Amino acid sequence: MSERPTALITGASRGIGAAVARALAPTHDLLLGGRGTEALQALAAELPGARPWQAELTDPAALAQATAEIASLDVLVHNAGMAEVGPLEKTSAQVWRDTLELNVVAVAELTRLLLPALRAARGHVVLINSGAGLNANAGWGAYAASKFALRAFGEVLRAEEPELRVTSVHPGRVDTDMQRAIRKTEGGQYEPERYLTPESVADSVLHAVTAPRGAHVHQVVIRPS
């Protein structure tokens, strides 16, 4: 059995999640969460000590089953999420429900189920948040609300679980498939050279996770230079 620490990463099949997996792979065994079976299997084959971990994040019963055999967990990276932008008058109740369910409720429930495993390892919870979790702009109502709530969740978790480290990461726009969809909805040009790379966000996660035990990185704010 490996003596390396273990990290579970949600939304690991692409974008920031896959970049975080590659950043942690040299030092951690990985549980790769996500929906894209082929992409997860390909990434797991690329990274020694990695294996797919598939569960529907918005299904509490599925989550309970998928987490039942995890006795100890060193790092939990909450990266999975959704963004549907638009003015409040066109944001339906279903968009609000779907956004909060995945971006907040699923995070809270997965963390709750894994608290015994995280406590056993004096683990680290990393929340991939957003600039929208610090400042809310027009057209971003449901998404910003979910990210403000995610930031609050992290602050409460940190206060209630002093043996754990909890880090909120707030990147600006990142060159990902999600960003392409957002820019299409906004009607703007897609300019990847003006955005962060997934690897730059992953480097920040790695820095927080590998900081000496006496250093607790509460919040990381990243913007393109």
The residue annotated as part of the active site, out of 143, 148, 153, 195, is 143
Segment holding 195, helix H or strand E? none
Please indicate whether residue 195 is annotated as part of the active site: no
Token representation of residue 192: 């990847």
End-to-end CA distance of the chain: 42
Strands (E), the chain: 6-9, 29-33, 50-53, 75-78, 124-128, 165-171, 219-222
Using CB atoms within 10 A of its CB, is residue 172 exposed (0-12), middle (13-18) or buried (19+)? middle
Segment holding 123, helix H or strand E? none
What residues are annotated to the active site?
143
